[in-house]
Amino acid sequence: MVKSAVRVIRILELVGKRGDGCLHSEIADTLDIPRGSLTPLLIDLRELGYIDYDEKTRRYSLGAEVLTLSNAYLRHLNVVQIGEPILRDVFREIHEFTSLVIAKNAEVVKVCEYAVPDPLAYHLQVGEAGPMHATAGGKALLAFMSASLREHILSCIDFRRFTEHTIQSKDALVKELKAIKAGAIAYCREEYLEGMISMALPVFNAENQAVAAIGINTRSVRFTRAHERKVAEVLRAAALKLSARLGNRTHRTREFANAA
């Protein structure tokens, strides 16, 4: 390994661990870097914005560019790769159709799934798209979009009727979206497929944007109140866990802790 590159990484790691920053001498002594070699490295890091220097305290701390770099990494995390083991754990605990969806225009696309062996229960396959207004995952994502984007999508929805339970108006959908944004779980009660009930919650990234939704789909005949409570508990924990894995530290833990 290139010594200077390793030293740069070690400097950033050390300074990042010290909440009040580090003196030049502390960095040199802790990392065993000759002071004459350390100075030009710190100068370069300051010029690039990765290190800040306080003239009064003479301490070095992390610069803003570190945040830019980390956010760029978090934005490009593969939500499927990160989410797949969490979905697997949910499936093992609930043993129902468990999926991860993302938004695409006025639809949601299934990007990952664990399915139960039920040939009579039709459901979206991985890669297939479903209507945002008639799916739990779609509602979960729509509720947390920016107001302008949500309004645009709502204007594009034709409110096609898939079953007798499908939402038929913008007003009815907006009412549900407000409840979801306030912390309620998103539901699809036989609105897309007869005999199937879905529950979903959004997943947030480091910038507090809803980038996906975790959903559980079950036959209505198995959807007892006790089963619903269990699904809600597992679903909330999974959504929080995946959001944390994506770098989120600010999203609505309080709302997600509410009862279904």
Structural domain boundaries of the chain? 3-73, 77-256
pLDDT digits (tens, 9 = 90+) for 56-80: 999 999 988 887 776 665 555 588 8
Q: What is the pLDDT of residue 260?
A: 35
Whether 223 shows a pLDDT value over 90: the answer reads no
- The alpha carbons of the chain give a radius of gyration, in whole angstroms, of 24
Residue 131 in contact with residue 107, Cβ under 8 Å? yes
Q: State the pLDDT confidence band at 203, using cuts at 50, 70 and 90.
A: very high
Tell me which residue has tokens 């991985």: 126
Round to whole Å and give the CA distance between 136 and 124: 13
Q: State the pLDDT confidence band at 93, using cuts at 50, 70 and 90.
A: very high
Amino acid at 125: Q
List, in sequence order, every residue forming a beta bridge with 51; answer none if it has no partner.
62
Residue 62 in contact with residue 50, Cβ under 8 Å? yes
Task: Tell me the CATH class for 77-256.
Answer: alpha beta
Whether 251 shows a pLDDT value over 60: the answer reads no
Q: Which of 87, 88, 125 is nearest to 109 (CA)?
A: 125
Whether 190 shows a pLDDT value over 60: the answer reads yes
Question: Residue range 42-56: average pLDDT?
Answer: 93
Residue 256 in contact with residue 240, Cβ under 8 Å? yes
CATH dotted code for 3-73:
1.10.10.10
Q: What is the pLDDT of residue 72?
A: 63
Question: Residue range 200-208: average pLDDT?
Answer: 91
- Whether the model clears a pTM of 0.85, i.e. scores above it, the answer is no
pLDDT digits (tens, 9 = 90+) for 103-156: 988 888 888 888 776 655 555 667 778 899 999 999 999 999 999 999 999 988
CB atoms within 10 A of CB 31: 15
Whether 191 shows a pLDDT value over 80: the answer reads yes
Whether 187 shows a pLDDT value over 80: the answer reads yes
Whether 228 shows a pLDDT value over 60: the answer reads yes
The more confidently predicted of residues 147 and 3 is 147
Q: What is the pLDDT of residue 171?
A: 92
Question: Residue range 9-21: average pLDDT?
Answer: 87
Q: What is the pLDDT of residue 255?
A: 46
Q: What is the pLDDT of residue 119?
A: 53
Question: Residue range 201-226: average pLDDT?
Answer: 90
